[in-house]
Structure 1
Amino acid sequence: MQTLVTETRGIAQLITLNKPRQHNAISLQMVDELLRQLDEAERDPALRALVLRGAGGNFCAGGDIGDMLAARQSAADGDSHAFFQLNRRFGELLQKFNHSRLVVIALLEGAVMGGGFGLACIADIAIATADTKFSLPETRLGLPPAQIAPFVVARLGLSQARRLALSGATIGGHQALEIGLAHQLVEDAEMLEETLEKQLQSVRACAPGALAATKQLLLASAQVSSDEDLNQLLDRGAAVFSDAIQGCEGLEGARAFLEKRAAEWQC
């Protein structure tokens, strides 16, 4: 890998976006490497969480200008799909991370812009420093936030998404916390590490299968638009619950509760 640094820490895979000179701008190569890391992490039964962060004091400042220039040259050479493919590939990344069985944790500091904003929106748990700067600058560049828009709306609601995307405004950590973009605010990078360890302890206490099932049910709940959808989801939930309570994790959870001890998830 040339754009990422990885580390396994117990139940978590830590992935650091590692292009500090470009404020960790996302290139196609980085997208490919992130997808490869996600695939490897999801196939490791020992992992329950995936942590995203940026090197050099910034999370991610958006798309890589080098890829934009290369796509422009390809378009000039007759490839009419160059920009479509460049843009759509990042949407695939967001979608796969959003639906991962793993708990995705984002440590946010410095610049969180454009595509970085999108990554923050698909994090199950987002922890930011108070001085982090969040921005959707695309419209100021003559562009729409095409791939991140659905994830921004899902995270913030349509009203806040409109406010930020249609003004290109920059907000700080406190506003991000108020609107639900960040879930927890800390004072500095050192506290990011301390808070991450506490979050991983919480995730470690949860059963891997129950975490994955819960995440999928929550995502499906956000898509319910009719009584028919709701009935189908409740049926699905009952089936998942039935399997879980009769399975290894459910039995261990019940035993641990009755014996007043921490559960040991070794299924």
Structure 2
Amino acid sequence: MTAQHTQAIHVRGLEKSYGDLRVLRGVDFTVARGGIFALLGSNGAGKTTVVKILSTLLRADAGTAVVNGFDVATQAAKVRESISLTGQFAAVDEILTGRENLVLVARLRHLRNPGTIADDLLRRFSLTEAGGRRVATYSGGMRRRLDIAMSLIGDPPVIVLDEPTTGLDPQARIEVWQAVRELAEQGTTVLLTTQYLDEAEHLADRIAILHQGRIIVNGTLAELKRLLPPATVEYVEKQPTLEEVFLSLVGDGGSGSGSGTNTTPATTSAPARTSKEHP
């Protein structure tokens, strides 16, 4: 299989300026089909600019970008048919119910059986029980999951998530993470932009760090960790992480219903081997 068929996104030499401000200074990366690729960077690094170029909302000054085999500059309509973009804030209608939001989008896309499509997505994202409720009553995590579900109507092969967990509480973030993992497991290619280090660490197959308009490193989590000096090994008592404490008290949060807590306290495990960097 050729590289063109194994790559869902191929970016080379992207440049973009706003007046004298150079936002992108030659960005290069590729995203494999069916993988989760995290574009990591601080505010102002250029992540959203990359997303806008890939989704044909903005034209690059230089460089090329190919999405699902189509050039974003010369085949914009084909690119838009191939992707779905979920922005930083949930684009849902709070007056409608969750199911009505999904049916509306399916009808706008002129798809057959919009009700069946809506019911399937509600089930896929654990929102069936909430489907008949107005979205105004949803939690932040439920709204974001509904927003992602709406993005999948029409089965786009590539979905772009621009900082999908910004402003969400810890339990809502975990719900969205689970939804993103399931997308990749079912074959959807995910390009994720985030400024949260733990989000990239938990989700991504590959991570690229965008800094001052350039990709300064790109690799798997293991490859990135090897960039640091070798570690020494010491024996220390392993303490539970804050995430383990949180989940032991409130449950895994996977259903988004807010019920079903686990009151078993977190306990300290036996001494374990951990690593410590050289000073």
TM-score, with length taken from structure 2: 0.25
More helix, by proportion: 1
Of structures 1 and 2, the one scoring higher in RCO (CA 8 A, sep 6+) is 2
More strand, by proportion: 2
> Which of 1 and 2 has greater Rg?
2
TM-score, with length taken from structure 1: 0.26
